Amino acid sequence: MIQYLTTHPWKIVEEGFQPRHHRSSESIFSIGNGRFGQRANHEETYTGPTLQGSYVAGIYYPDKTRVGWWKNGYPEYFAKVLNSINWIGIRVWIDGEELDLAVCSTNNFRRELDMQKGLLVRSFDVTTISGKQARIESIRFCSMADYETAVIRYSVTPLNFDGAIRFTPYLDGDVHNHDSNYDEKFWEPVSSDTTPGGGSVVCRTKKTAFEVAASMQLDVLLDGASQSVSYAEFSRDFYSENNLEIEVKTNQTTQLMKYVGLVSSLNYSTAELKSAAERAALRAKTFGFDKMMSAQVEAWSNIWEMADIQIVGDDEAQQAIRFNIFHLNQTYTGEDSRLNIGPKGFTGEKYGGSTYWDTEAYCIPFYMSTKNQEVARQLLVYRHNQLGKAIENAEKLGFSNGAALYPMVTMNGEECHNEWEITFEEIHRNGAIAYAIHNYIRYTDDHSYLAEYGIDVLTGIARFWAQRVHWSEAKGMYVMHGVTGPNEYENNVNNNWYTSYIARWCMRYAMETLAYVKHHDAQAYTTKTTALKFNEAAEIKQWQHIIDNLFLGKKEGSNIFLQQDGFLDKELRSASSLNQAERPINQHWSWDRILRSCFIKQADVLQGIYFFEEDFDMETIRENFDYYEPMTVHESSLSPCVHSILAAKLGYEEKAYEMYMRTSRLDLDDYNHEAHEGLHITSMAGTWMSIVQGFGGMRVENGELTFNPMLPKKWKGFSFKVMFRGEVKTLKVGEV
Amino acid sequence: MIQYLTTHPWKIVEEGFQPRHHRSSESIFSIGNGRFGQRANHEETYTGPTLQGSYVAGIYYPDKTRVGWWKNGYPEYFAKVLNSINWIGIRVWIDGEELDLAVCSTNNFRRELDMQKGLLVRSFDVTTISGKQARIESIRFCSMADYETAVIRYSVTPLNFDGAIRFTPYLDGDVHNHDSNYDEKFWEPVSSDTTPGGGSVVCRTKKTAFEVAASMQLDVLLDGASQSVSYAEFSRDFYSENNLEIEVKTNQTTQLMKYVGLVSSLNYSTAELKSAAERAALRAKTFGFDKMMSAQVEAWSNIWEMADIQIVGDDEAQQAIRFNIFHLNQTYTGEDSRLNIGPKGFTGEKYGGSTYWDTEAYCIPFYMSTKNQEVARQLLVYRHNQLGKAIENAEKLGFSNGAALYPMVTMNGEECHNEWEITFEEIHRNGAIAYAIHNYIRYTDDHSYLAEYGIDVLTGIARFWAQRVHWSEAKGMYVMHGVTGPNEYENNVNNNWYTSYIARWCMRYAMETLAYVKHHDAQAYTTKTTALKFNEAAEIKQWQHIIDNLFLGKKEGSNIFLQQDGFLDKELRSASSLNQAERPINQHWSWDRILRSCFIKQADVLQGIYFFEEDFDMETIRENFDYYEPMTVHESSLSPCVHSILAAKLGYEEKAYEMYMRTSRLDLDDYNHEAHEGLHITSMAGTWMSIVQGFGGMRVENGELTFNPMLPKKWKGFSFKVMFRGEVKTLKVGEV
């Protein structure tokens, strides 16, 4: 754990500049609006360690795959989240000395993410090398009211001198991706120009030919009064800047307003892209900083109205849940069916791609309950749109007859991952995609989805499982070999219980869905099954035979489901017996040692029990939790939330609270020493679940929403709202 | 299979130029002398597909590792075999038209590798675009009599014109490696110069700073008479050339002699390197082509005297065994303990590194029997030299107390491989290294090796195994999890029988060795065990407990040893049921499909039975062979030889012959469609074994050499010699 931030119910606060943690702060204080996002890089020059990151939704680059030894079926490329035009940059000279926090010293430094209002504010007193002192304040935000705009207000006040303040606000598309397999540059310049007090840069991605345009409009105020200044302009490929200087007296405040328009070719033709960015920047300037800020506060207020969770009596927990909800809303607004929820959102590059099974397993419940149900439907349709690619993907691996294997990581439906033990074997992801359909329909009652879309996806997935198992003569049953479960600390195992269980469930659910559509919409059934070339008699018979005869391991004389064949042969020990200096083990142990150990990265058997809890009695759930949780090292961000929910269900209040704090403060307290790479956005939805489904005990039972709340000892109370079938339901527990 | 070469007992012959197979021919017709080697690239310009390759022994580059996702314990780099200075290049213009076999047409083309004499000869009639015809002949060889020299005699005879023949012989160090992870250049220039009729180039590898120097001396003859010609010289970084032109009449033959000196910083200081190369080139020129050739023929005659295997009545088999023996001798002469036997020798880049377990498992018997026993000892000492690195390597993976894990691939003792399932799990290699010591001592009776070197290596290896197993409460036995056996078509399996069996044997052999040294040389024992910090009581007790309680799987009611846990759950089918269009499966199937299948890449259980055949009765050997061989796809070059030897032992004459032909003609007939990447040098020693140990039935029993020969039906007879404890033994079977 690394703790250096101040606790506050609505804010994240860094008091005193901490260069050592700056890259983590850059992640934690990130801002965005679903359309684009920005790490909390300093506006002014910073020569210390930093990870620059300006990201535009849906803009990616197919980076040539890097593998040790090529294996058949590996994808040619990995679609990467792209660092894009730097639109925040403002170089600042204080009476001739450049402001750089790696060089100058600061006092009263405060960085604040105001989550209620959606603002990033930074203020400090700086002393230059020569001893000049000035007060600096910057406020910036990505507008939630006008997705194409952002604004920065950068203020400088000399404290002990009269002199010149010089600003060089700029746009810079000459950026690189930290995560580039071959150190390639991903961008090429399209155009750049500048006008007095303005400028724009347009860049194009190589290979994918996406274009992004940024435009800026400037304004300068002295002690609140607009100034007419003379601008010196300069531009080159990728780059546009303005230079301006203003003579000020001690205690006079100069404010530079940088209004930014940022658009991409996802929403405009390339011909109109530049002018769209320019229009957006002008629109922002015309609107002005104050009105933009009011609109921002109002937009966030509307979001919080529905999405907020209040926790009374525990500011750490309160701050954490809002931090999670804030970032989820910054990352995905649900308005564009081409987008999805990247594991790092707009806070870092790692993991590339945008879509993992995280979306289905963790994110859909959050968006389903806090947004209009169309948003969740949109996320399901996203996968339907990519069904053709999933079928192609399965064909590449030797499957046929329309079997579909969804990718582990994707941007456009094609697989991007390239480690055989994941790409070819972590196939349980297919199950989560089917489960999300069930989850959505159970919650929304929107059965129309099945005939329209669901039937296609579920049939493709069921066909995959039917081919992926094989008959074992030795066991006289079907077995599933060569898989990697959610616990990626086991690779290439046989009969992973979770995978087999969800596979069997998928076949059953596909059969139910086919029967449902046949019964309720015979015409749709005929159309769909004809298109799918569905051989009803043979395929149903095959699925049923597998359902009836699929091997699922169990520990003799117990209700413990065996994570995989041979699990009991391991040296079974508790994670608490591990040397603390060797944790997280994935940063200290060689891979074979991890694989040979019993330690579990994230819920595996317990993930199945979480998904299908109605299949198991309380004692079975308890036995499995008591058996597996102690061996779990929770080194995936997706681990603690599931354990928190199950612990709450089992009445393990302390464990539920520990796991809640771990999931909700994962990045704030940097449990796994990786916040500098970006935040764990998708697991933030798991945090939400651990309150709503965990402490709130929310379930859908027979079409009704039920709650079975538990109040952690440390809390006086908590409350949240959910949207359910068009109605807002509020749960209040304890004093709230 | 791809067959386009002519069968001949002493020669490899390509009749008619086959551009489609040119890259394979470049591998097959490679020449070398243990110190350097050269693919059979054309001397003149060739704009068709080619893989240029000039390799100098021991010169490597640490290429930055390329992996998908980094795992702890992966090495930072992969030591690569390096394409070095091109010393064969001669551009040729026929009356102004450049000779290029991708452009000009040929008649009577013949490429011939004379294995008896160690010569590469190429001759053809060429017709230029404008219709000029000329006879071309080139002869070249890497001298086996003077390891620093090589020579080319390049002849041109106009057939239908009088005109100018122009030559541009050159040296070119501006080469690239086909196998470069980041398309880096591995070389930087040191110097290049030229003189009339001579020139030299010196290059240095980046990072490793090895230097290689090549020098050339030229001579021109017209109809056999030396000519005085005027040379036009040119040099630049990396490059040195001479230009000369001679006016000739129809049917007059111009011969260009290119004498080459080639040396590296392995044998000279960098200060004297260039002059050493120049001296070597001048020495060659002074000696002259004819005398160099006589010396070459004599040197090869001496090699063949001891190493030849004669097969009567089957030219295909005869050609093949000589092809194998020829290449083994070209690759490694046993005179330099810093060198080893790379899997592709000097015929290609693939697999980088130089040393695999192939050396111990396959190559040592060949060198032990056909060379002075010092050569085999040298190969063992090579590993002793690298013991410190093997201990470091084990430490990186979490082992302690001097446990040693030898690398899968290495140049200097450091691991170069970077796929976890191999690097961390294909640990049986450690067993082969111990086995080679046993094999050497059994054969040579050189017990002095144990106290001097063997004890260190064997203790390190035994300690590794003792830590690599763990106690299974469930089984009440030791188990070994997370291994990859010799059959790399299974990854991360538990209780691979071969690995566990050889591990147990290693612990036992280490104990015997310690006891032997203690008994025969108490002082050495004390010195060694003190240095090793050997805790006799505790360690011996631990090893014995593991030996007595190590799990080894067996199929119930049979003598079949189980390749690994869960093997019987697979769909068990014969490789003969595979679709021919899908073979080799590693070029057609996705990796998960290969892993899930029962198909075996190379001997696994049978490798253990081969190594330890005295432990098993004939029925057990037969049962296992009959069970596993049909599932074996032999997609490793190391597979057929072991099966051939076992088949011969079992009296399966047809299978033994089939496997012999497959191993011996693997590259000549290109079974696995990969000869273009280079030849399978180390498996060539397996070919030798399949005659000597297979059809010859040679074994060492109680210090005596015994033979139990079998004559394949197709053969009239065969004979070979082996050196055994200072004596040459000859086996003749049938008419010979």
Would residue B488 show up in a list of annotated catalytic residues for this protein?
Answer: yes
> B589: number of CA atoms within 13 Å, CB side?
19
Distance from A459 to chain B by nearest Cα, in Å?
22
Q: How far apart are CA B403 and CA A334, in angstroms?
A: 56
Q: Does residue A429 sit in the same domain as residue A282?
A: no
From chain A, pick out residues whose CB is under 8 angstroms from the CB of B420.
591-592
Q: How far apart are CA A286 and CA A276, in angstroms?
A: 15
Give the model's pLDDT for residue B578.
Answer: 97
**ipTM of this complex:** 0.91
Other Cβ atoms closer than 10 A to A66: 18
| CB pair distance less than 8 Å for B424 and A591 | yes
Give the model's pLDDT for residue A212.
Answer: 98
Closest in A182, A421, A482 to B596, CB measured: A482
Q: How far apart are CA B537 and CA B522, in angstroms?
A: 17
Between B177 and B213, the higher pLDDT residue: B213
In a domain, A260, yes or no: yes
Closest in A69, A182, A424 to B182, CB measured: A182
Paired tokens of A442 = 């159970």
| Per-residue confidence band for B63, with pLDDT thresholds at 50, 70 and 90 | confident
From chain B, pick out residues whose CB is under 8 angstroms from the CB of A472.
568-571
Domain boundary among A612, A633, A654: A633
CATH of the domain at A223: 2.70.98.40
Mean pLDDT computed over A591-613: 98
From chain B, pick out residues whose CB is under 8 angstroms from the CB of A473.
568, 572
Distance from B582 to chain A by nearest Cα, in Å?
11
Q: Which residue of B has its CA nearest to A74?
A: B590
pLDDT tens-digit series, residues B349-408: 987 778 999 999 999 999 999 999 999 999 999 999 999 999 999 999 999 999 999 999
Give the model's pLDDT for residue B204.
Answer: 97
Q: Is residue A344 within 8 Å of residue A415, measured between CB atoms?
A: no
| Per-residue confidence band for B334, with pLDDT thresholds at 50, 70 and 90 | confident
Q: How far apart are CA A299 and CA A281, in angstroms?
A: 19
Q: Which residue of A has its CA nearest to B425?
A: A592
Q: Does residue A416 sit in the same domain as residue A280?
A: no
Q: How far apart are CA B660 and CA B314, in angstroms?
A: 12
Amino acid at A457: V
Closest in A474, A569, A590 to B474, CB measured: A569
| Per-residue confidence band for B261, with pLDDT thresholds at 50, 70 and 90 | very high
Amino acid at B471: W
Domain containing residue A145: 13-65+75-286
Q: Is residue B156 within 8 Å of residue B253, measured between CB atoms?
A: yes
DSSP A533: T
Q: What is the pTM (predicted TM-score) of this model?
A: 0.93
Domain boundary among A633, A650, A670: A633
Nearest to B441 by CA among B362, B506, B368, B545: B368
Mean pLDDT of chain A: 96
Q: How far apart are CA A162 and CA A165, in angstroms?
A: 10
| CB pair distance less than 8 Å for B72 and A182 | no
In a domain, B542, yes or no: no
| CB pair distance less than 8 Å for B397 and A592 | yes
Q: How far apart are CA B89 and CA B284, in angstroms?
A: 18
Other Cβ atoms closer than 10 A to B178: 12
Closest in B68, B71, B565 to A591, CB measured: B71
| CB pair distance less than 8 Å for B481 and A566 | yes
Q: Give percent of chain B above pLDDT 90.
A: 93
CATH of the domain at A414: 1.50.10.10
- List, in order, residues 6 or more apart from B228 with CB less than 8 Å away: none
| CB pair distance less than 8 Å for A591 and B420 | yes
Mean pLDDT computed over B296-324: 97
Q: Which of A43, A148, A414, A488 is catalytic?
A: A488
Give the model's pLDDT for residue A183.
Answer: 82
Paired tokens of B439 = 């094999």
Chain centre distance of CA A181: 22
Q: Is residue B274 within 8 Å of residue B191, measured between CB atoms?
A: yes
Closest in A73, A397, A479 to B569, CB measured: A479
From chain A, pick out residues whose CB is under 8 angstroms from the CB of B571.
470-472
User: From the candidates B418, B419, B492, which should be mutated to test the interface with A, based on the most A CB atoms within 10 A?
Assistant: B492
pLDDT tens-digit series, residues B7-42: 999 999 999 999 999 999 999 999 999 999 999 999
| Per-residue confidence band for B690, with pLDDT thresholds at 50, 70 and 90 | very high
Give the model's pLDDT for residue A337.
Answer: 82
Nearest to B363 by CA among B389, B325, B337, B316: B325
Mean pLDDT of chain B: 96
Q: How far apart are CA A698 and CA A704, in angstroms?
A: 10
Please identify which residue in the block is written with the tokens 């596993």: B628
In a domain, B735, yes or no: no
Paired tokens of B701 = 């029993």
Burial class (CB in 10 A: 0-12, 13-18, 19+), B267: middle
| Per-residue confidence band for B335, with pLDDT thresholds at 50, 70 and 90 | confident
pLDDT tens-digit series, residues B463-478: 999 999 999 999 999 9
Distance from A637 to chain B by nearest Cα, in Å?
18
| Per-residue confidence band for B546, with pLDDT thresholds at 50, 70 and 90 | very high
The yes-or-no verdict on residue A258 having pLDDT over 80 is: yes
Rounded to a whole number of angstroms, the distance between the first and last alpha carbons of chain B is 30
Nearest to A493 by CA among A485, A501, A504: A485
Give the model's pLDDT for residue B10.
Answer: 98
Q: Is residue A702 within 8 Å of residue A338, measured between CB atoms?
A: no
| Per-residue confidence band for A468, with pLDDT thresholds at 50, 70 and 90 | very high
| CB pair distance less than 8 Å for B73 and A590 | yes
| CB pair distance less than 8 Å for B592 and A491 | no
In a domain, B626, yes or no: no
Provide the greatest CA pair distance for chain A.
89
Three-state helix/strand/coil letters over A123-164: EEEEECCCCCEEEEEEEEEECCCCCCEEEEEEEEEECCCCEE
Give the model's pLDDT for residue B172.
Answer: 98
Closest in A417, A566, A571 to B565, CB measured: A566
pLDDT tens-digit series, residues A452-467: 999 999 999 999 999 9
Q: Give percent of chain B above pLDDT 70.
A: 100
Angle between helices B522-531 and B455-468 (to 10 degrees): 50
| CB pair distance less than 8 Å for B569 and A481 | yes
Q: How far apart are CA B134 and CA B128, in angstroms?
A: 9
| CB pair distance less than 8 Å for A492 and B396 | no
Are β-strands A477-479 and A470-472 bridged in parallel, bridged antiparallel, or unpaired?
antiparallel
In a domain, B75, yes or no: yes
Amino acid at B386: Q
Three-state helix/strand/coil letters over B146-186: CCCEEEEEEEEEECCCCEEEEEEEEEECCCCCCCCCCCCCC
In a domain, B403, yes or no: no
| CB pair distance less than 8 Å for A470 and B398 | no
In a domain, B46, yes or no: yes
| CB pair distance less than 8 Å for B71 and A590 | yes
Q: How far apart are CA B444 and CA A410, in angstroms?
A: 60
The yes-or-no verdict on residue A69 having pLDDT over 90 is: no
From chain B, pick out residues whose CB is under 8 angstroms from the CB of A418.
68
Closest in B182, B424, B570 to A590, CB measured: B424
Q: Give percent of chain A above pLDDT 70.
A: 100
Q: How far apart are CA A371 and CA B193, in angstroms?
A: 76
pLDDT tens-digit series, residues A361-387: 999 999 999 999 999 999 999 999 999
| Per-residue confidence band for A334, with pLDDT thresholds at 50, 70 and 90 | confident
Q: Does residue A629 sit in the same domain as residue A503?
A: yes
Mean pLDDT computed over A299-327: 97
The yes-or-no verdict on residue A266 having pLDDT over 80 is: yes
Please identify which residue in the block is written with the tokens 């003379």: A230
Between A327 and B63, the higher pLDDT residue: A327
Q: Is residue A313 within 8 Å of residue A714, measured between CB atoms?
A: yes
Q: Which of B488, B490, B539, B629 is catalytic?
A: B488
DSSP B317: H
Please name the helix (run of DSSP H) or strand (run of DSSP E) that holds residue B670, with its range, or none. Answer: none
Q: Which long-range contacts (CB under 8 A, 24 or more apart) does A98-101 make?
A: A98/A44, A98/A45, A99/A44, A99/A45, A99/A126, A99/A128, A99/A136, A100/A44, A100/A45, A100/A46, A100/A47, A101/A17, A101/A19, A101/A42, A101/A44, A101/A46, A101/A48, A101/A126
Total domains present in chain B = 1
DSSP B361: I
From chain B, pick out residues whose CB is under 8 angstroms from the CB of A475.
569
| Of A60-74, A537-551, A629-643, B7-21, the least confident | A60-74
Give the model's pLDDT for residue A354.
Answer: 85
Q: Which residue of B has its CA nearest to A565?
A: B566
| Of A492-501, B256-265, B409-418, the least confident | B409-418
The yes-or-no verdict on residue B73 having pLDDT over 90 is: no
Distance from B254 to chain A by nearest Cα, in Å?
48
Give the model's pLDDT for residue A678.
Answer: 95
Torsion angle defined by CA atoms of residues A46, A51, A54 and A60, in that order, rounded to the nearest 10 degrees: 150
Q: Is residue A186 within 8 Å of residue A180, measured between CB atoms?
A: yes
Closest in A66, A68, A569 to B472, CB measured: A569
CB pairs under 8 A between A and B: 132
| CB pair distance less than 8 Å for A591 and B472 | no
pLDDT tens-digit series, residues A391-420: 999 999 999 999 999 999 999 999 999 899
Q: Is residue B184 within 8 Å of residue B63, measured between CB atoms?
A: yes
> A719: number of CA atoms within 13 Å, CB side?
12
| CB pair distance less than 8 Å for B482 and A592 | yes
| Of A416-420, B559-563, B716-720, the least confident | A416-420
In a domain, A499, yes or no: yes
From chain A, pick out residues whose CB is under 8 angstroms from the CB of B475.
569
Number of H helices, E strands in chain B: 21, 27
| CB pair distance less than 8 Å for B596 and A471 | no
Domain boundary among A584, A600, A633: A633
Q: How far apart are CA B659 and CA B666, in angstroms?
A: 10
From chain A, pick out residues whose CB is under 8 angstroms from the CB of B587.
72
Rounded to a whole number of angstroms, the distance between the first and last alpha carbons of chain A is 30
Mean pLDDT computed over A60-75: 83
Give the model's pLDDT for residue A184.
Answer: 86
Burial A315-354 (b: 16+ CB within 10 A, else e): ebbbbbbbbbbbbbbbbbbbebbebbbbbbbbbbbbbbbb
User: From the candidates B423, B582, B590, which should be mutated to test the interface with A, based on the most A CB atoms within 10 A?
Assistant: B590
